[in-house]
Amino acid sequence: MYENFNITLFIVAGIIIYFYFKNDNNNQLGGNGTSSEFSSSESSGELSDKPFKYKKATIYGGGVFLLLIVIGVIFYYIGNSNCEECNHLSTNKSNNKVAYATNCIDLRFIDESHTFLEKMFGKNSYESFVVPGPSLALYTKTVDNNKVKLDDDFYKAWIKGLYFARKLHNAEFIVLIDHEDCGYYKERYKTDNGFNKNFTDLNNSEKISIQNNTMKETIDQLVVDLRQFKDPYVPNSDLNFNGMKIYGYFVNLDGIYTKVYERDI
């Protein structure tokens, strides 16, 4: 949204600059030798009226132009301020590194997630695997001393997606994005799934804390799993995930992204 607004501002500013110089040229070419500085409508006749108008237009146009630039800079700043990590990560863009990104199915965050990921990795530099409540969908619980996946089907599909992201595109980053007010947490984080509280009974800061802790536990477990990964398709394959980085982000309803956790595989 901010990007489009900025483009509009710059187009308007461009039009103003165009007319500014157009006026300037007209004045110089068709002028009668009278300097605009010494002209006024009172002391001059019809011919010297033009430079005075030109002077007014110049001041007005210049003022509007400067105002637009200031507004443009402010919106550029606001547009980029929701991504603390973008500047840091965008330095990797030149290396053309690919990310395997996972965001929630929540429709409110689809476009925003793509904007965020494009800022981080550049256009066409990330794969998007969409799954409800990423950190919880991939969560591993301990039941009777065994580690089990809360949603095994999601986990298996996600791992296979990662496998091909690595094999085909040499993906070097994994990004999980959770968000505030997640419906999947409301559905699945419940006492009857083995948790000691129902997500819906918590206040907002408790919910965020639960989600961030789940994100950390999930990423820790993914690191363990991925270090032990065996290629399911090619016997004795040397494909592995070593050297990949995993980032966990949380985005609130205002679209502000916060990095929750980071691990190397």
What is the contact surface with Zn ion in residues (CB under 5 A)?
104, 106, 133, 182, 184
Nearest-approach distance from CB 106 to Zn ion, in angstroms: 4
Say how far apart CA 242 and CA 172 lie, in whole Å.
9
Residue number, 89 or 177, with CB nearest to Zn ion: 177
CA distances from 110 to 81, 131, 136 (A): 19, 11, 18
Nearest-approach distance from CB 109 to Zn ion, in angstroms: 7
Per DSSP bridges, beta strands 173-179 and 99-103 are parallel
Residue number, 137 or 171, with CB nearest to Zn ion: 137
CA distances from 146 to 138, 140, 149, 155, 196 (A): 16, 10, 10, 16, 18
Nearest-approach distance from CB 105 to Zn ion, in angstroms: 7
Nearest-approach distance from CB 113 to Zn ion, in angstroms: 11
Residue number, 83 or 177, with CB nearest to Zn ion: 177
Sheet order of strands, 245-251 included: 126-130, 99-103, 173-179, 245-251, 257-264
Nearest-approach distance from CB 177 to Zn ion, in angstroms: 10
| Nearest CA-CA partner of 120 in 216, 251, 224, 253 | 251
Residue number, 158 or 184, with CB nearest to Zn ion: 184
Strand (E) or helix (H) holding 263? strand 257-264
Nearest-approach distance from CB 16 to Zn ion, in angstroms: 44
Residue number, 176 or 246, with CB nearest to Zn ion: 176
Q: How many CB atoms lie within 10 A of CB 40?
A: 12
Nearest-approach distance from CB 265 to Zn ion, in angstroms: 25
Length of the chain as a residue count: 265
Query: Are residues 101 and 129 in contact, defined by beta-carbon separation less than 8 angstroms?
Result: yes
Query: Are residues 171 and 247 in contact, defined by beta-carbon separation less than 8 angstroms?
Result: no
Residue number, 131 or 162, with CB nearest to Zn ion: 131
Query: Are residues 249 and 176 in contact, defined by beta-carbon separation less than 8 angstroms?
Result: yes
Residue number, 122 or 133, with CB nearest to Zn ion: 133
The amino acid present at 20, given as its one-letter code, is Y
The amino acid present at 104, given as its one-letter code, is C
